[in-house]
Chain A
Amino acid sequence: MADAWTVEAHRLLKKHGIKTVGYVPDAGLTDLINACDADNDIKAVVMTTEEEGIGLSSGAWLGGEKAAVLMQSSGVGNTVNAIASIVSSCQFPLFMIVTMRGQYGESNPWQIPMGQATAPVLRSLGVRVYEVDTVEDALGAIENGLKMAFVSNAAVAVLIGQKLIGAKSFIADVAEEVSHV
């Protein structure tokens, strides 16, 4: 069964007329990406780096369509100059859903520094950041974030916390057996 928040998140993207969804995958985004991929009204675009999502979204807006961008928190680091130079300078709308790593119950220490930096980095760029840990808060932030982004030409990021999506478990997710050397 799909994660509870992703079914409604997909419905909200459609309700607000999102036609293109650019993504770099994350485990926490799997169900939402699959829902967008299976939807004939949405073009799901796999990207090589999150920075492309800023170009893709801004370009879609130039052409009269709305796009959303999905990424893991580490990917926020790859978007910095594009957000500052393009989105801020031109007041392009931007709507991002960011699934968090390195924040709560993280098992990979390399994820922790960028996880801690994600929200302050986005805020320093002028992005409106909503950090959510419950399904109810996530859906409220997505609904209102979509409105703000495309009606007010704002840059909005909804950060989906690990309390909601869970901390990745290597044993369950990656391999049947794990050994250490």
Chain B
Amino acid sequence: MSKPTLDRADVMKKLMAVRGDALAIAGLGSPVWDIASSDHKPENFYLWGGMGCAVSMGLGCAMAQRGRNVWVVTGDGEALMGVGSFATVAAQRPSNLAVIVLDNEHYGETGMQQAATSHGTDIAAMAKGAGIPNTMTVTDEAGVDALAAALQSGPLPMVAVVKVAATKPNLVLPSRDGVYLKNRFRQAVLGATEAMHQS
């Protein structure tokens, strides 16, 4: 297997250019810095913990916000920890949920230890096996363009694995205050009154 060559910052720039009004959940680790550096706004929820929960969180959000797309952007280690969530998503078939796995085949936040994806584990195949109807693996620029198009045209749900180089990301850090991030997101999505005085 050849080493991934795509630059994660370039990938994120291209994908975020077609984001529209999609809501974004960032999985623990580099995807938090990736989204913060490429498209920081209130409609982003950054997971500073809870490894393995990004996809289930995206599912809950997508089921509550049927009229908007929800993008989960996460890493290969985070996705593997909650890999059963692909089956849970497949059973619900939310037509507004996209999962983008930036797969650098390593645990980037803990010292770049090799992940199972370094040894042949294929997350797109796992998602397909879980019953996700639309899966893809992206390894080059043309693939990134195809993914950007698919994110706009669907069909969703989809799981896209983007093989990216194991480089250090730009450390653009959003707030670490979970209560603030939660309320900021809800206010942006629901409006101030509904966000703070739910019935």
Q: List which A1-51 residues lie within 8 A (CB) of chain B.
A: 17, 19-20, 22, 43, 45-49, 51
Complex Cα spacing A65 to B92, Å: 17
Q: How far is the CB of A26 from chain B (nearest CB, A)?
A: 17
Complex Cα spacing A22 to B190, Å: 23
A17: B residues at CB distance < 8 A? 199
Q: How far is the CB of A96 from chain B (nearest CB, A)?
A: 14
B23: A residues at CB distance < 8 A? 62-63
A-side interface mostly: helix
Across the interface, B85 reaches (CB within 8 A) one of A55, A89, A150, namely A55
Q: Chain B: which residue is nearest A56 at the CB level?
A: B60
Q: Are A150 and B84 in contact (CB under 8 A)?
A: no
Q: How far is the CB of B24 from chain A (nearest CB, A)?
A: 11
Q: List which B29-71 residues lie within 8 A (CB) of chain A.
A: 45, 47-65, 70
A129: B residues at CB distance < 8 A? none
* A118 on interface, CB distance cutoff 8 Å: no
Chain A 146-157 per-residue mask, 1 if CB under 8 angstroms from chain B, else 0: 000010000000
Q: Are A63 and B60 in contact (CB under 8 A)?
A: yes
Q: Are A48 and B64 in contact (CB under 8 A)?
A: no
* B122 on interface, CB distance cutoff 8 Å: no
* A121 on interface, CB distance cutoff 8 Å: no
Give the most central of A48, A56, A58: most B CB within 10 Å. A56
Give the most central of B58, B59, B195: most A CB within 10 Å. B59
A159: B residues at CB distance < 8 A? none
Q: Chain B: which residue is nearest A43 at the CB level?
A: B63
Complex Cα spacing A27 to B189, Å: 38
Q: How far is the CB of B105 from chain A (nearest CB, A)?
A: 24
Q: Are B85 and A60 in contact (CB under 8 A)?
A: no
Interface size class of A (residues with CB under 8 A): 35 or more
Q: Chain B: which residue is nearest A64 at the CB level?
A: B190
Interface size class of B (residues with CB under 8 A): 35 or more
Complex Cα spacing A55 to B56, Å: 5
* B87 on interface, CB distance cutoff 8 Å: yes
Complex Cα spacing A61 to B60, Å: 8
A62: B residues at CB distance < 8 A? 23, 45, 57, 60-61, 64, 182, 185-186, 189
Residues of B within 8 A of A (CB): 23, 25, 45, 47-65, 70, 82, 84-85, 87-88, 91-92, 178-179, 181-182, 185-186, 189-190, 194-195, 198-199
Return 29 A-B CB contacts under 8 Å, by A number: A20-B64, A52-B59, A52-B82, A54-B56, A55-B53, A55-B57, A55-B60, A55-B85, A56-B88, A57-B60, A58-B53, A58-B57, A58-B60, A59-B57, A59-B61, A59-B64, A60-B63, A63-B23, A63-B64, A63-B189, A64-B186, A64-B189, A64-B190, A64-B194, A64-B195, A81-B49, A84-B49, A86-B57, A92-B182
